[in-house]
Amino acid sequence: MTISIIATVKIQEGKMEEAKAALRKIIPIIKESEPGTLEYIPHVVKENPNIIVFYEKYADEEALKVHGANLGKNMREFGPYCVPERPVMQTLQEI
């Protein structure tokens, strides 16, 4: 059964362009190295230019675990642009 997640991350004031550039490098690495990650799509929120919302979809629980294990190294370049607080995470269930 697939698992979908919405993760909301706050970006430091004035650092959005750097954050987006880092994500453009990271996304292909995630897609290549994590075949169970079916979707990993960051979105900028028009109404709040310091927010990025990730839509993530995983083939199963194991794929989500693999992504979690890789998260630290994969997001190393992106992390410095984030506000130092935990992302807001929502797990979705398809209808």
Report domain extents, the chain.
3-92
Q: Residue 7 pLDDT more than 90?
A: yes
pTM above 0.85, yes or no: yes
In angstroms, the CA 58 to CA 92 distance is 11
- The residues near 24 (Cβ < 8 Å, ≥ 6 apart) are none
For residue range 12-42, list pLDDT tens digits in order. 999 999 999 999 999 999 999 999 999 999 9
**CATH pick for 3-92 out of 3.30.70.100, 3.40.50.300, 3.20.20.80, 3.20.20.70:** 3.30.70.100
